[in-house]
Amino acid sequence: MTDIRKNEEAHRYELLVDGEVAGFSEYRQGVDNVVELPHTVVDPAHGGKGYAGELTQFALDDIRDLGAKVVPSCSYVARYIEKHDEYRDLLA
């Protein structure tokens, strides 16, 4: 079973598999309501399951809900936005 949560203390979104963190996407709250997503990691044991995409979608949806914009300095997040037009309006 998977779950995704925002861990505000650690400044990251976390994907849990059976209660254990299997991946995360770091975020940095910037100025002018801009959030940077610098790094996304999925444990190699859980690779190929679409978890990075799930994390990215969750993070971008959360940023949208906050009324913020995003700087996708993580190459995965940048490619995700390129492939998903519905998130291009979030680019700072």
**Would you say residue 14 has pLDDT above 90?**
yes
Q: In 3D, which of 41, 45, 35, 22 has the Cα closest to residue 70?
A: 35
pLDDT digits (tens, 9 = 90+) for 34-74: 999 999 999 999 999 999 999 999 999 999 999 999 999 99
Name the pLDDT band for 24 (thresholds 50, 70, 90).
Answer: very high
Q: Which residue segments constitute the domains of the chain, with CATH numbers given?
A: 2-90 (3.40.630.30)
pLDDT of amino acid 77: 98
**Would you say residue 1 has pLDDT above 90?**
no
Q: In 3D, which of 71, 88, 77 has the Cα closest to residue 42?
A: 77
